[in-house]
Amino acid sequence: MDTLERLLSEHPFFKDLDPRYIQLIAGCAREVTFKAGEFIFREGDPSSHFWLIRSGKISLEVFAPGRGPIMIETLGDGDVMGWSWAVPPYRKQYDARALELTRALEFDAMCIRGKCDEEPKLGYELFKRFSQIIGQRLQATRLRLLDLYGSHS
Amino acid sequence: MAAIVKPQTTVLTDPMMPVPYRILRVRRETKDTFTFELHSVTGERFPFAPGQFNMLYLFGVGEVPISISGDPAHPEVLVHTVRVVGTVTKALCRLKRGDILGVRGPFGSSWPVAEAVGDDIVIVAGGVGLAPLRPAIYHLLNHRGDYGRVALLYGARTPGDMLYTDELVEWRGRFDIQVEVTVDAARPDEWQGNVGVVTTLIPRAHFDPHHVTALVCGPEIMMRFTILELQKRGLRDDQIYISMERNMKCAVGFCGHCQYGPHFVCKDGPVFRFDRVREIFGKREI
Amino acid sequence: MIGERVIVERQDFQKLLDALRQKGYVTVGPTVRDRAIIYDEIASVEDLPIGWTDEQDGGKYRLKRRADQALFGYVVGPHSWKKFLHPPVLSLWKARKNGKGFEITPNRDEPPRYAFIGVRSCELHAIFIQDRVFTNGKFVDPHYQARRRNVFIVAVNCVQAGGTCFCVSMKTGPKATAGFDLALTEILDGQRHYFVVEVGTTLGAEILQRVPTKPAQPRDLQIADERVAQAAQQMGRQLDTTDIKELLYRNLEHPRWDEVATRCLNCTNCTMVCPTCFCTTVEDVTDLTGAEAERVRKWDSCFTMDFSYIHGGSVRASAKSRYRQWLTHKLASWIDQFGTSGCVGCGRCITWCPVAIDITEEVRAIRESEQSKA
C-alpha cells in the first residue's frame, strides 16, 4: 500500500472507508506543507481543493470593513478544512492563513468530483462524512452566536 | 479605624452577620472583571474548600454571592474575582486598597479534589467560570503527585476577556499540565491561539475516560454542551461535576431563593455531581 | 398527669388566659377583625370570636353567626402562627460607618414569650414542619428558635371541618396528638358548655393547676371523641398522596401547568396565607446621610417576578414556571428536602386564591391524566 493510502486510511475522517475507495481518492491527493504566515487561500478564490490537516494550525479569517481581519475559527491536527468544494458556487468564503508550520494532505476537488461521478457510492460516503463536519461547524458557530460569556444584564 | 462587631448577648452565632475584611490589593483582569485580595481586619485566617463561595457585603448597598478564587493552601489571604453585572458588583468594583467590605462564609459544597485522588482530571472553564475553578487548579498543582494527567480547557469571549493570563502562561509552561485556551473571536494581531467554542478542545484533551474526573464551570449552555462532549469521550455522569448558580439572599438555606428542584444551591451546591441533577439539568425554568 | 384528660367549664375559661398572662406569656389567639378571624393578642375570652363560624370554599371566605356561643366554632383564617414565629418583617442588624469600616450591632430584642390559644392540629403540624426547616438543618435560624423555644401551645381539636379542609388526606388532623401543652375539645351539649382538656406537658399541667378542673366522665370523653371523629368525615377536599413526589417529578412538562397558568394571577396570596411557606428576602437600607445601614428580612414569595433573578433575567420568567415551582415544592421536593410534605391540608391556599385555584384539583388532574393513558 502506497504511503498516501496509508496516511488516508489512518485518518479518522476516512475511518471505515472501503480500501478500494481509499485508493481512488489517493489518486487525487498529495502532501503539502505551509509555512507560518502563508495564506492557503483567500476569500473569493475558487474552491478547487480541500485539506486534511496532519499537524499545525490554520486560522480562518474574515475582513470586516472598519474592524480589520477577524479570526473566526482555528483548525488544527486532524481537522478537515474546506467543504465549499462540494457546494455551489464553489467559492471560498474566508481567508485561510497558517499560524505555524502546517502539514496537510491536499485533495483536488475536480478530481474527486470526477471519481464520484464514476462511483456514486463513493460520493455518498464522502457526503456522509462532510455533512457531519458541516453540522459540527454549524453547531459550534451557533454556540458562539449566543455570546455565552457576554454580560447580559 | 477598624470595623468592630459588637458581641451578641443572645446565645447562638448568627450566620447572617458579615465580618469586616480590608482590601489589600485590586487587580483589573478585564474591562469588567476585578480580583480582590482581602485580609481579615482582626487577622483571622479564612480556611475554605475549592468551589465554595462567600456573601460579600458592601455597606448600605447590598450583598452578592461570589466564589472564592484563591489558593486554599494560603488561607491568610482571601481572594475574590468579581465581574460587574449589577448594582452591588458595580459598586464593589469601585473599591480601592484599604476599603472595607463585609464577608459571610464560606458556604456551599466543593470540588471533589479528595475523591478524585488517583484520577486524571479535566477542567473545562467558560468565561468567568475559571474563577471558581482556580482554587481547585491550585490544589491539584500543589498536590501534583496525587493525580494522573491534568488538562485545563478554557474558553473566553475574546483575548481581552481572559482571566489570569499570567498564570495561564505559567501553567502552560509546566510540563505536567495540558493547557488549551480558545476564544470565540479574535483579531490576528492580538492572538495566535485557538479560535472556536471551548467544546472543540475536548476531543484533544489527554485523559483516560475510565479514570478521570471532570470539573466544569461556566454558563449553563456551555456546561450542557461540554457535558455532551465529555459523554462522547466515554465519561459517565458520576465522573462529571458542575457548578450551578442561582439567586441567593441568605446563603444558609432559609430564604428559599436558590432552590433548584429539590436542591438548595447554597447548601447542596454550588458544586453538584452531574448524575444527581441530571433529571432537572437543562429543564426549562426550573 | 401527662395524657390525663379533665373538664374545664366554659365559665372558667378566662382563668386559663389569666394563668398564662400571670406567668408572663403574651396570649395570642383568634379574634374577629375586618370580617375575618385573624390571630392577634387577646386578653379576655370576650376577644375570641364567640358565636362565629366561617364558610369557606374556593376563593370564598365569609363569617356567619352561629346558633350557639362556641368560642372555637370555626377553623382557620388568613393568618397562621408563622406570623409570630417567623415574623413578616424583622430587623437583623444595624451597621454604622466607622472611618473606612463599619460597626455591626445585631438585633438583640428579646422576643415575647407567646402563648398560642387555639392552635388546630393542622397548624401544629405546620409548626413542626417549620421547626424542621429552621432548626433541624446544618444552620439554625436564631430568630425562629428564640421565639419557638418559649411558646406555650393550647391546641384545639376541630369538631367541625372547614369547607376547604383536607387534613385527613395529609394525616395532620383533626385530632391534635402531640406537641401541645394543652389540647382542648369544646363541647356544647344541651345546656352544658365545657372543654375536655388533655394535658400534653408538665408545663401544661402547671398552668392547669390555676384553673378549676373536674375529672372527665366517660360520657364526656365519648362525646369529645365522637365529635372529633365527625369532623374527620366532613372534609371539604381530598388529596391522594400516593407516590405524589414521583407523580409530580415525572410530570414537570405536563400541559396542566399551562392550563393553570391561564388562571393564576401570581398574586402571592397562597404563599402569604400558607402556614409552612417560609421564603424571605433581605433589604439593605441606609438613612439619608448614608452613615447608618440596616438589614431587614421580609417575607417573600416564589411567585414574584424577580424571585429567581440572576444577572440578565429570571430563571422562572413565566407565570407557569412559578406556579409549578410552588406546587411541586410544597408537595414533592419538600419531601426530599425535609422528610415530610410541606402541606398540612389547611385549605387556606384554596380559600384565599382570588380565582379559586385548588391544589387538590390540580394534582387530581395530573394523576387522572396518567390513569386515562394507562
List CB contacts (< 8 A) between C293 and chain B. 59-60
CA distances from C20 to B197, C26, C144 (A): 70, 8, 21
Does the beta-carbon distance from A148 to B221 stay under 8 Å? yes
Does the beta-carbon distance from C313 to A151 stay under 8 Å? no
User: Is B280 inside any structural domain?
Assistant: no
Chosen for mutation from A151, A152, A153 (greatest number of chain B CBs closer than 10 Å) is A151
CA nearest to B259 within chain C: C308
User: Is B275 inside any structural domain?
Assistant: no
CB C1 within 8 Å of CB C199: yes
Which structural domain range is residue C154 located in? 5-93+101-233
User: Is C251 inside any structural domain?
Assistant: yes
Task: Answer whether C304 touches B (CB < 8 Å).
Answer: no
Residues B90 and B139 in one domain: no
CA nearest to B99 within chain C: C100
Could you say which of C101, C308, C315 has the minimum Cβ distance to residue B2? C101
Tell me the C-alpha distance between C208 and C115, whole Å. 14
3-state DSSP of chain C? CCCCEEEEEHHHHHHHHHHHHHCCCEEEEEEEECCEEEEEECCCHHHCCCCEEEEEECCEEEEEECCCCCCCCCCCCCCCCHHHHCCCEEEEEEEEEECCEEEEEECCCCCCCEEEEEECHHHHHHHHHHHHHHHCCCCCCHHHHHHHHCCEEEEECCCCCCCCCCHHHHCCCCCCCCCCCEEEEEEEECCEEEEEEEECCHHHHHHHCCCCCEECCHHHHHHHHHHHHHHHHCCCCCCCCCCHHHHHHCCCCCHHHHHHHCCCCCCCHHHHHCCCCCCEEEEEEECCCCCEEEEEEEECCCCCCCCCEECCEECCCCHHHHHHHHHHHHHHHHHHHHCCCCCCCCCHHHHCCCCCCCHHHHHHHHHHHHHHHC
Residues B100 and B124 in one domain: no
Could you say which of C97, C104, C332 has the minimum Cβ distance to residue B5? C104
CA nearest to B252 within chain C: C139
Q: What is the ipTM of this complex?
A: 0.95
At C134, give phi and psi (nearest 5°).
-95, -20
Q: What is the pLDDT along chain A (153 residues), one digit of tens a residue?
A: 578 888 888 888 998 899 999 999 999 999 999 999 999 999 889 999 999 999 999 999 988 777 778 898 999 998 999 988 888 888 888 899 999 999 999 999 999 999 999 999 999 999 999 999 989 889 888 888 888 888 765
Sole residue written with cell 384565599: C352
The average pLDDT across B134-153 equals 97
Beta-carbon contacts of residue C141 (< 8 Å; ≥ 6 apart): B254, C134, C135
Q: Which amino acid is at C117?
A: I
Does the beta-carbon distance from B156 to A151 stay under 8 Å? no
List CB contacts (< 8 A) between B249 and chain C. 280-282, 300
List CB contacts (< 8 A) between C313 and chain A. 152
Provide the chain B residues 220-259 that lie in CB contact (below 8 A) with chain C.
Answer: 245-247, 249-250, 252-257, 259
CB C150 within 8 Å of CB C113: yes
Does the beta-carbon distance from A149 to B187 stay under 8 Å? no
Which structural domain range is residue B202 located in? 120-243
Residues C210 and C312 in one domain: no
User: Is C318 inside any structural domain?
Assistant: yes
Among C204, C233, C262, the domain-final residue is: C233
Domain at B224, CATH number:
3.40.50.80
Residues C287 and C332 in one domain: yes
Residues C19 and C145 in one domain: yes
Our CA-based measurement puts residue C182 at a distance from the nearest CA of chain B, in whole angstroms, of 29
| SS3 state of residue A127 | helix
Residues C78 and C225 in one domain: yes
Among B79, B107, B135, the domain-final residue is: B107
User: Is B29 inside any structural domain?
Assistant: yes
Number of H helices, E strands in chain A: 4, 8
Tell me the C-alpha distance between B7 and A145, whole Å. 53
pLDDT at C40: 98
Superfamily designation of domain A30-145: Jelly Rolls (2.60.120.10)
User: Is B12 inside any structural domain?
Assistant: no
User: Is C19 inside any structural domain?
Assistant: yes
Provide the chain B residues 212-271 that lie in CB contact (below 8 A) with chain A.
Answer: 218-219, 221-222, 225
Task: Answer whether C65 touches B (CB < 8 Å).
Answer: no
User: Is B11 inside any structural domain?
Assistant: no
How many domains does one find in chain C? 2
Q: Would you state the cell numbers that stand for residue A29, as one nine-digit string?
A: 491527493
How many domains does one find in chain B? 2
User: Is B7 inside any structural domain?
Assistant: no
Residues C80 and C211 in one domain: yes
Residues B144 and B42 in one domain: no
Q: What is the pLDDT along chain C (374 residues), one digit of tens a residue?
A: 899 999 999 999 999 999 999 999 999 999 999 999 999 999 999 999 999 999 999 999 999 999 999 999 999 999 999 999 999 999 999 999 988 889 999 998 899 999 999 999 999 999 999 999 999 988 999 999 999 999 999 999 999 999 999 999 999 999 999 999 999 999 999 999 999 999 999 999 999 999 999 999 999 999 999 999 999 999 999 999 999 999 999 999 999 999 999 999 999 999 999 999 999 999 999 999 989 999 999 999 999 999 999 987 899 999 999 999 999 999 999 999 999 999 999 999 999 999 999 999 999 999 999 988 76
Residues C35 and C110 in one domain: yes
Could you say which of B127, B187, B189 has the minimum Cβ distance to residue A148? B127
Query: Can you give the pTM of this predicted structure?
Result: 0.90
Tell me the C-alpha distance between C204 and C180, whole Å. 8
Task: Answer whether B191 touches A (CB < 8 Å).
Answer: yes
Does the beta-carbon distance from B187 to A59 stay under 8 Å? no
* H-assigned helices in chain B: 87-92, 130-142, 165-173, 220-232, 274-277
Provide the chain C residues 314-343 that lie in CB contact (below 8 A) with chain B.
Answer: 315-318, 320-321, 324-325, 329, 332-333, 336-337
Residues B135 and B94 in one domain: no
User: Is C238 inside any structural domain?
Assistant: no
Stretch (H or E) spanning A143: helix A120-145
Domain at B53, CATH number:
2.40.30.10
pLDDT in tens, B99-142: 999 999 999 999 999 999 999 999 999 999 999 999 999 999 99
User: Is B2 inside any structural domain?
Assistant: no
User: Is C81 inside any structural domain?
Assistant: yes
